[in-house]
Amino acid sequence: METTSEKLNVEPSTGAHFFHNLVSLGISYLSVTRQRPDHFNWDWMEGQKINLETAFAAYVLLDEPVVLKVDGRQSSGIIILPDGP
């Protein structure tokens, strides 16, 4: 998942080579903004333990997997969070 932040608001990745790699490897991609109509549970994400952080990215390692469903034809997707505390 790729997103923006208050400190770094850039356009999502759109390069042909980038998307060729995703498609050829069968990797789903979501770009989420903090603007409508996107909706994301930021409280949940910000509550996750950061595994590695760089100047421009934070990587989290989840205790339980999430389910990601993407409809490339409709340009939409959903992330189903694990049940738990």
Q: What is the pLDDT of residues 54-74, one digit of tens each?
A: 988 889 988 888 888 888 788
Residue ranges with strand state E in 4-84: 31-32, 50-53, 58-60, 67-71, 76-80
46 φ, ψ to 5°? -70, -15
Nearest to 68 by CA among 30, 19, 24: 30
**Nearest-angstrom CA–CA distance, 20 and 72:** 14
* 4 pLDDT above the threshold of 90: no
pTM of the shown model: 0.59
Best CA proximity match to 47, nearest among 2, 85, 74: 85
